[in-house]
Chains A and B, each alone.
Chain A
Amino acid sequence: DTEVTQTPKHLVMGMTNKKSLKCEQHMGHRAMYWYKQKAKKPPELMFVYSYEKLSINESVPSRFSPECPNSSLLNLHLHALQPEDSALYLCASSQLVRDNEQFFGPGTRLTVL
């Protein structure tokens, strides 16, 4: 299984809502990532988890809260988002060895009204 799955595919939420994005992989990868991608732009790294511990936070606003409950799952909790947070949110995973391919999921298309 070389797949990263993400749910939901699409999400529309208001600025006062709380929602969560989910990501799952069963490749035994111990590094997992959240990226944000705006239209016609490259992915921007948000968070990196290594061995289920947060290792990189790219100065992301606290309205985004990541969680890694186990080695296969990665969540992104959303609260009090702004319309400019509307984007494609991509999850990726990789082996924890140097210079290794990151496998990306299909993403969650988020719209904040």
Chain B
Amino acid sequence: GENVEQHPSTLSVQEGDSAVIKCTYSDSASNYFPWYKQELGKGPQLIIDIRSNVGEKKDQRIAVTLNKTAKHFSLHITETQPEDSAVYFCAASITGNQFYFGTGTSLTVIP
């Protein structure tokens, strides 16, 4: 099955700085890559996703890049704010509804 690795496991940044989280996947058949944000006491919420026919996608302060050849994808958050503090999970999917999640990154934005 698919194996998704995620780094770093913890990340602290000053407010206003950028944060980057990286994931690698093992199965070249994976073709859908969502990113979820999970705040304390809540379920994960989708923040951005990318499909294998796209190299980059941006939504305001959040962007995701995908390198299919290297089998890695990254989340970029610019101008970080304290409310960005949460746990972020990447995921990869082959079939479209079976997600393989990365191990998570706990992001802390220091005011």
Contact = CB atoms under 8 A, between A and B. Distances in A.
Interface stretch (B56-64, B70-78, B99-107): B99-107
A107 B44 CA distance: 10
Give the interface size class of chain B: 20 to 34
Contacts of B20: none
Contacts of B104: 40-42
- State which size class the interface on A falls in: 20 to 34
B96 A100 contact: yes
Contact of A4 (B43, B93, B98, B99): B43
Contact of B34 (A50, A101, A105): A101
Interface of A: 4, 31, 33, 40-45, 48, 50, 56, 90, 92, 94, 96-107
Interface of B: 31-32, 34, 36, 41-46, 49, 51, 89, 93, 95-99, 101-104, 106
